[in-house]
A and B are shown apart, each in its own frame.
Chain A
Amino acid sequence: MENIGHAGREIVERIMPKDVAIKRVAELRAAKAKEYDVRLQIATEIIDIAYGFFTPLEGFMTKADVTAVCDNITLADGKTVWSIPIVFDISEEELKSTGIQKDDTVILTYTGNPLAIFDVTDVFTLDKKDVAMKVYATTEEKHPGVKRTYNYKDKFLGGKITLLNPPKINPPYTEFWLTPLMMRERFKEKGWVRIVNHQTRNVPHTGHEWLCKGAWLQTYGELSIEKPIVGVLVNAIIGEKRVGDYIDEAIILTHDKLRTAGYFGEHNHMTSCTLWDMRYAGPREAVFHACLRTNLGLTHHMYGRDHAGVGSYYGPYDAHHMLAKVRDGLNITPTYSMNWLYCPHCGEITSEGLCDHKKEWQKFSGTVVRSIIIDGVKPPRLIYRPEVFDVIMETAEKYGFGSAFVTEDYLKRRTPVFTIEPLK
């Protein structure tokens, strides 16, 4: 079962060795191959495809795949579960100016430097409203996934991708960038036989910490406790940000602090990042996360209420229902988590499924937690670990231009997560 990812497919990196890549680019340029400079959104997904994060995808979806994803939550083969379209959009004008057409081999560049080769096998259009309705269950533009769909250009290219030039991951993300194959090596070194994923785009208060601890206990189940063989992976989603989100640097460094400050240990906790622009597709995003984390080598995945949802578009358990629907096509075990809260009567963080002092419960409100962080007032350690709170304040100064939350200024001036350097 080594290196087997989603849908029972082997994780295969689609990356050309550097000397071969340099030669190939020279050959293609000599043959006047078409070139196209991609934006960050597309560059990110090229990298994900190339390293196998999206196994079994080997490239951007063809129309047949997108249609099957929308209609059946599968790829075009009708069997492989897949819930979110992975598409390469291009405008009519760009198609004309570059001359890109079906069966072309295109050099894709990012910030002017060669990134990947794109073997185009399909050029197509999509009914964006139909895609939005099927994937997001709404056509309202205020839904961020729908907005992204409507913002796609009018034509789409499908075909395989081969990476020419691996990204340089910039600090502080460098140590957390673990590709599916690297991740599996780490798990092997640690001797973990079960690993449960914690999906996050938050800095952790103790409610999040206990979500992880509860899931770790659930995952351990019947296994021997003679030596540590179960781990929690905090896989932070690093991608497109909205004003008011936590800054990426704060998310990843605070989670890591939970381990380095001893609330977890090397024997049961790891932090990593995945490059992905959240679509907030609720149930469909939950299924996507299952596929993604299977590719990372995880065996279990925690899901709370309203997983990856936004606003009131999805019911609190819609994701659980959809996961149950496609269960046979997934190779990861969902671990469902109830909310954790502070009970003054118990004097501890507890699960709403355990404690019966309902009238005394003090729930973690995201808004209140943000309010406390904005005020810079260190909460009691039962709410925020002091080491974690210090990291929030430090990252706000060091990376967030004074704010732990994304501002317009941060969006303009932040250090990019990765850069593509000249290929030489």
Chain B
Amino acid sequence: MAETYPINIWINEERFAKLQKAGLEGLTVEMLAGLKVLRVPTNEAQRDEVLKVFPTAKYDSATTKSIELLPKDVKDKIFDLIVERKKIDIMEEFLKRVK
């Protein structure tokens, strides 16, 4: 799936350790002076669905071109599902669970 509208999950040491355990640590990229981020891909339909289901979220079209301001507990759940499935393309399953 094309990574068009990512959700940025910021990675601290605890999250990084979980990613290492799942063999996914190579998927992180560095932004802002080395701060690690996991960019979870969504397609256009999924992006719209995320913005609809979580009204605090915002698609930052001006600077980062990513979905931001998702509540922490939602991001935690997305992150946990990635670690559980040992893959990053989980948004379809995540949105099904939410529904």
A binds B: yes
Quick one: given A374-B69, A376-B72, A377-B10, are A367 and B58 in contact (CB under 8 Å)? Answer: yes
Whether B69 pairs with A365 at a CB distance below 8 angstroms is: no
Q: Mark B43-87, 1 if CB is under 8 A from A, else 0.
A: 000000000000010101011101011111001000000000000
A35 and B27 CA atoms in complex are apart in Å by 67
Whether B35 pairs with A379 at a CB distance below 8 angstroms is: yes
Q: Within the complex, what minimum Cβ distance (angstroms) separates A380 from chain B?
A: 4
A370 and B57 CA atoms in complex are apart in Å by 11
Quick one: given A365-B64, A368-B60, A368-B63, are A375 and B72 in contact (CB under 8 Å)? Answer: yes
A64 CB within 8 Å of chain B: no
B26 CB within 8 Å of chain A: no
* Interface size range on B against A: 20 to 34
A-B contact count (CB 8 A): 65
Whether A372 pairs with B35 at a CB distance below 8 angstroms is: yes
Q: Within the complex, what minimum Cβ distance (angstroms) separates A276 from chain B?
A: 26
Whether B72 pairs with A365 at a CB distance below 8 angstroms is: no
B11 CB within 8 Å of chain A: yes
Whether A382 pairs with B10 at a CB distance below 8 angstroms is: no
A242 CB within 8 Å of chain B: no
A362 CB within 8 Å of chain B: yes
B33 CB within 8 Å of chain A: yes
Q: Within the complex, what minimum Cβ distance (angstroms) separates A400 from chain B?
A: 13
A370 and B75 CA atoms in complex are apart in Å by 14
A379-397 interface (Cβ within 8 A of B) = 379-380, 382-383
Quick one: given A367-B58, A368-B64, are A375 and B75 in contact (CB under 8 Å)? Answer: yes
Q: Within the complex, what minimum Cβ distance (angstroms) separates B39 from chain A?
A: 12
Quick one: given A377-B10, A377-B12, are A367 and B68 in contact (CB under 8 Å)? Answer: yes
User: At the interface, is chain B mostly helix, strand, loop or mixed?
Assistant: mixed
Q: How many residues of A contact B (CB 8 A)?
A: 21
Whether B33 pairs with A380 at a CB distance below 8 angstroms is: yes
B31 CB within 8 Å of chain A: yes
Q: Within the complex, what minimum Cβ distance (angstroms) separates B83 from chain A?
A: 16
A344 and B30 CA atoms in complex are apart in Å by 11
A367 and B7 CA atoms in complex are apart in Å by 12
Quick one: given A342-B32, A362-B31, A380-B33, are A367 and B63 in contact (CB under 8 Å)? Answer: yes
A92-144 interface (Cβ within 8 A of B) = none
Q: Within the complex, what minimum Cβ distance (angstroms) separates B22 from chain A?
A: 18
Whether A383 pairs with B10 at a CB distance below 8 angstroms is: no
Whether A372 pairs with B63 at a CB distance below 8 angstroms is: no
Whether B33 pairs with A370 at a CB distance below 8 angstroms is: no
Q: Within the complex, what minimum Cβ distance (angstroms) separates B12 from chain A?
A: 4
Whether A362 pairs with B12 at a CB distance below 8 angstroms is: no
B-side contacts of A364, CB under 8 Å: 32
Query: Which chain B residue shows the least CB distance to A349?
Result: B33
A-side contacts of B34, CB under 8 Å: 380
A-side contacts of B70, CB under 8 Å: 371, 374
A306 and B16 CA atoms in complex are apart in Å by 38
Whether A365 pairs with B60 at a CB distance below 8 angstroms is: yes
A363 CB within 8 Å of chain B: yes
- A244, A368, A370, A376: the one contacting B32 at CB < 8 Å is A368
B9 CB within 8 Å of chain A: yes
B8 CB within 8 Å of chain A: yes
Whether B63 pairs with A363 at a CB distance below 8 angstroms is: yes
A-side contacts of B62, CB under 8 Å: 365
B-side contacts of A327, CB under 8 Å: none
A186 CB within 8 Å of chain B: no
Whether B32 pairs with A377 at a CB distance below 8 angstroms is: no
- B12, B31, B58, B63: the one contacting A378 at CB < 8 Å is B12
A-side contacts of B75, CB under 8 Å: 374-375
A-side contacts of B63, CB under 8 Å: 363, 365, 367-368
B9-41 interface (Cβ within 8 A of A) = 9-12, 15, 31-35
Q: Within the complex, what minimum Cβ distance (angstroms) separates A297 from chain B?
A: 37
Closest 9 CB pairs of A and B: A377-B10, A365-B63, A382-B33, A371-B68, A380-B33, A375-B10, A367-B60, A377-B12, A367-B68
A residues with a Cβ closer than 8 A to B are 244, 342, 344, 362-365, 367-368, 370-372, 374-380, 382-383
Q: Provide a sorted-by-A list of 5 A–B residue pairs whose CB atoms are within 8 angstroms.
A: A365-B60, A367-B63, A377-B11, A377-B35, A383-B32
